[in-house]
Structure 1
Amino acid sequence: MSDRLNLNASWYAVADGYRPVEDYYHTTSDQNGIISTQGGWPSESYVEFSKGKRLLLGWGTVDPQLSGYNFSGDSGTVFPNGYIQDFSTNVSADSSGDLTRGCFMLNNIGDVSQVNSSWAADATLPGFDYPTSASANIVPLLNLTTNTTNCGTSPYLNVTLLNSTAHENYRPYQNYSYATIWSWAPNEPRDYSPSDASSESLFRCATTNIDLSGRWVVADCSQYYYAACRANGQPYNWSITNYPISYSYANQACPDNYAFAAPRTALENSYLSQAMRESRREYDGHGACWVDFNDLDTSGCWVTGGPNATCPYNQSSSQADYLKRRVILVPTVAAIIVLIITALTIFVKAAGNRKTRKRNRKRADNGITYEGIPS
């Protein structure tokens, strides 16, 4: 939290690719030009690649036995209770899992960032029939999970499904996890392996498919589709290009003050799907629209930033390979040096022994050479 007090020395002191996106928080500047924020959160790239951290930790429910504990002593490491978890109490749904209240999909796009919370989560909904018995139907829960995710709220499971733990039967919990995925469609991103190797390299770009509820599908980068463009500084304001274009030139087709982009959150993806429906474009039956997501640089490493974007893990991989080479090289060189010294020592001793043996050799009167003094 101390990073918020001086963004100049924290969030803004790293490479542009790791800086938290300014669309999601407000900043203030003092008379010395120090920029700060009260409610902003760092991006994953900043936390992982710049700070080298993997975990955000916060206090949950505190038992009465710990009421006397000094929690302020851990405030620099552990977030206070409720700080990174905001349960939405105004969410309700019908028996089929469709939300009747609590969706962040608002008509006024400018108000969404003010209302939505980064840590919004749905608690156990009162009145909803959770599938806890062995014969229960899990489909309404899966629908509820998908709908709450698409509406900008993180689903929260706190019941036992179908009267079985995950150890006894993992399938319902696996299906629940799948229902929280808002980006890739099932079995995507696929590893295309056509007979023509040159064609395989073209299936490295992502499209959002309106016929799959906005899920993403890998497509041939050279094909012509409409492209998704996001308004500058407005993460939920999307526009669709007026004409189809290949992935590499998609940004050129975006209108002024818009840029070729990919949704960062489930709620953004929902607004993009809404923009696709309202645009009434002729999708020629495929329902696809380019989003700025590709693995052109490194197969399997999907990145944003257009066709020239690079994989952020390549540098880490190179450093790891370099360290591995050092781990192998240093002992090898040391072993060679030891062998050379050992060999030189043996050669020197052998030469010295040879000279000594020559000095100790004596010839007797009978012409026979003896070592030392003949008896």
Structure 2
Amino acid sequence: MSLTFDADVSLNATEAAVFLSERDVAGQIPINFVTTSAVSLQAACFQDNIFDANAAGKCFSNLLAVGYRHFLVDLYWSPDQRDWLFCPVSIPQDNTVVTVSSTYSTTATATTNAAQATVTETASSSGSMLYELGPYRCSKNLNLSDLISVFHDFFQGYSSELTVYTRFISLNLHAAASATTPEEPASTVTGAQLPTESEYISSLFDNHLSSYIYMPSELATERANLNESWYEVEDDYKPITEYFTLNVDANGDQNTPDGWPCGKYLQLAKQKRLLLEYGTIDPQMQAYNLSYLGDVIFPSDYLTSTISVSLDDDDTIDTGCFYNPSASTVAQVNSSWAQSDYIPVPAGLNPNETIAQMSFVVSNLTACGLTPTLNNTLFNKTANEDVTPYTEISLSTSWAWAVGQPADAASSDDNNYKSIDRCAVIDIALNGHWRAINCTESRYAACRVQNLPFTWQLSTTPNTFQAAHTSGCPENTTMDVPRTGLENTYLYQYLLRQTELLDPTSSDPARTKVWLDFNSIDVESCWVRGDSDTPCPYASDPQQLERRTVLVAAIAGIVICIIAALTLFVKCNANRRNSRRNKRMMKGWEYEGVPS
């Protein structure tokens, strides 16, 4: 593996706060109901059929850096190279003769399988040497291992609780065309042409990323006994049961046939960062053994449910939206793994208008419970050439905060939370998006009815944030905050029907703001559920967990050396040899450690 994570872009503080706060507020929702952002690498990184290794590494890195979560990857098996390529054509191998001229362009004759192939080698703008094979220009060794290397480097560099997010990869498998006939369909791959054990995709991922991968067997084992998996952790890390079928056997053991773990459990308790699935498999690759190391990759479309969408004349979602005004349960609006089939690109607009219109559609898709899928090259530039429009689309998948929010807190006295703009409201004037306002303003509060995902009421009277949190909601309701884009849509639509109740004396729609159970009173930009006394979980050094792990290991090493020395010079008594070990708790999991 040669490529590394090398992004030339990063999110600013507000953008990072948006993603982090939405990750945390959705932390107990099963991952199959949390919308993300999907992107096709073919569209975002390989425009005009140019498969340049250096440019691809930058493109992969930039897409990760700006927040994309689900990657659609097209891979081509080359029997000649014995490798999984991004290029749709096999590159001529050992007997290729190339003479590079001073202009970095030359024609060479390559013999492949006793046939003749004419190949042109050129230099790309990034300095990579490319083979021209019919309509394709390809680096010789741009392969799956390069993508795995970028992900591995990224996971190692972004490992604190503040930067951990789950990623998904869908793998579409194709056969590479022959270099002698690059524009003709690839031949069917059979027999010895098929990958060997070490060449299987599952083997490549398992060898390099196994510690990060959440595997099918883990899901099956955890589903079979929730008492010893999802419910063995702290309460804040347990999934919301209203989102899946829950069974209890005669012994009181709980299980589920269809549930998925929640983000907090997966990302923070288990420290799993990646889920893999097979996508489409070309007919030429039907002999490929998908079951080899089948515990690494989920079956085809296991993590994706593609939904066809259509837009009406004002670009709102006409078909494909999961909002159903009469629904109250997940079973009535089952948006599990729902993903749009495309994001339309409007014609006849300037770049700024185009991105604004696409962002509007993306926001609507997310509000409808769909993960938007970007499968277009934006303005004929890849994400390594100009990442800005790709960043805008990624940010548009944010379902909670309005643009520019959560704004920096304004306060005349940092020790007095009552003067701080650190409490969240849902704002009807902002199409149901959120903003931060002064915590002492008097507003109604959003109250969830009996833990139902889509059913809301308003508090009986307007109050300050703290008072609303204490005693504002009617019986059988609790002050709460939407946890997904679809839940937010249900609250927004409910509020649209209650506008007169919110502020009957005002004609100013900007005043129709409702408290949510979300604040950053303790630490600026650290948004938490709870009242003004709820502490920020990241107030301590976010690298504390990593340093503590290193410290424990170092102390253990020192203790071992001391024990070894004492064994040589002192006869220890039985009590000392059987000293008690301390137990600690980390995210609800018990582990053994040396005394502190």
Shared fold, TM over 0.5: yes
Deviations 1:139-187 (A, max 9, x none): 4433321211111111111011222223333333233223222211111
Q: Does 1:42 align with 2:261?
A: yes
Structure 1: gaps of 5 or more residues: 332-375
Is the CA contact 1:204–1:295 (under 8 Å) kept in the aligned structure 2? yes
Is the CA contact 1:131–1:161 (under 8 Å) kept in the aligned structure 2? no
Q: What is the deviation of 1:130?
A: 4.7
Q: Which sits farther off after the overlay, 55-64 or 131-140?
A: 131-140
Q: Does 1:211 align with 2:394?
A: no
Deviations 1:213-265 (A, max 9, x none): 11111122222211111112311101111211121232421111111111000
C-alpha distance in 2 between matches for 1:292 and 1:22: 20
Q: Does 1:242 align with 2:467?
A: no
For 1:100, the equivalent position in structure 2 comes to: 318
Is the CA contact 2:311–2:319 (under 8 Å) kept in the aligned structure 1? yes
Q: What is the deviation of 1:53?
A: 1.4
| Residues 72, 164 of structure 1: alpha-carbon distance in 2 compared, 3 angstrom cutoff | same
C-alpha distance in 1 between matches for 2:348 and 2:271: 40
Deviations 1:309-331 (A, max 9, x none): 33333576544465677899999
Structure 2: gaps of 5 or more residues: 1-218, 558-596
Work out which of the two has the higher radius of gyration on C-alpha atoms and give 1 or 2.
1
Name the TM-score, length of structure 1 as normaliser: 0.78
| Residues 162, 317 of structure 1: alpha-carbon distance in 2 compared, 3 angstrom cutoff | closer
C-alpha distance in 1 between matches for 2:476 and 2:275: 35
Q: What is the deviation of 1:41?
A: 1.5
Is the CA contact 1:25–1:39 (under 8 Å) kept in the aligned structure 2? yes
Q: What is the deviation of 1:36?
A: 1.0
Deviations 1:191-234 (A, max 9, x none): 22445434576322111111101111112222221111111231
C-alpha distance in 2 between matches for 1:73 and 1:34: 32
For 2:400, the equivalent position in structure 1 comes to: 183
| Residues 194, 266 of structure 1: alpha-carbon distance in 2 compared, 3 angstrom cutoff | same
Secondary structure of residue in 2 paired with 1:289: strand
Q: Which sits farther off after the overlay, 283-292 or 267-276?
A: 283-292
Secondary structure of residue in 1 paired with 2:457: strand
Q: What is the deviation of 1:106?
A: 0.7
Deviations 1:99-121 (A, max 9, x none): 22121111222255433223101
Matching residue's letter, 1:82: D
C-alpha distance in 1 between matches for 2:435 and 2:531: 17
For 2:512, the equivalent position in structure 1 comes to: 287
Q: Does 1:166 align with 2:383?
A: yes
Q: RMSD over aligned Cα, in angstroms?
A: 3.0
Secondary structure of residue in 2 paired with 1:110: coil
Matching residue's letter, 1:45: K
For 1:303, the equivalent position in structure 2 comes to: 528
Matching residue's letter, 2:434: W
Deviations 1:22-72 (A, max 9, x none): 121111122332211122121111112211112222223334565334333
Deviations 1:319-349 (A, max 9, x none): 4465677899999xxxxxxxxxxxxxxxxxx
5 Å-filtered alignment, 1:135-154, equals 137-154=354-371
| Residues 140, 44 of structure 1: alpha-carbon distance in 2 compared, 3 angstrom cutoff | same
Is the CA contact 1:190–1:218 (under 8 Å) kept in the aligned structure 2? yes
| Residues 40, 197 of structure 1: alpha-carbon distance in 2 compared, 3 angstrom cutoff | same
| Residues 14, 329 of structure 1: alpha-carbon distance in 2 compared, 3 angstrom cutoff | closer
Matching residue's letter, 2:521: L
| Residue identity (%) | 36
C-alpha distance in 2 between matches for 1:11 and 1:330: 30
For 1:268, the equivalent position in structure 2 comes to: 487
Secondary structure of residue in 1 paired with 2:393: helix
Name the TM-score, length of structure 2 as normaliser: 0.50
C-alpha distance in 2 between matches for 1:63 and 1:310: 52
Matching residue's letter, 1:221: C
Q: Which sits farther off after the overlay, 146-155 or 132-141?
A: 132-141
- Which has the larger share of helix? 1
C-alpha distance in 2 between matches for 1:196 and 1:311: 19
Segments ≥4 residues shifted beyond 6 Å = 132-136, 324-331
C-alpha distance in 1 between matches for 2:248 and 2:483: 27
Matching residue's letter, 2:449: A
| Residues 256, 72 of structure 1: alpha-carbon distance in 2 compared, 3 angstrom cutoff | farther
Matching residue's letter, 1:181: S
C-alpha distance in 1 between matches for 2:262 and 2:348: 36
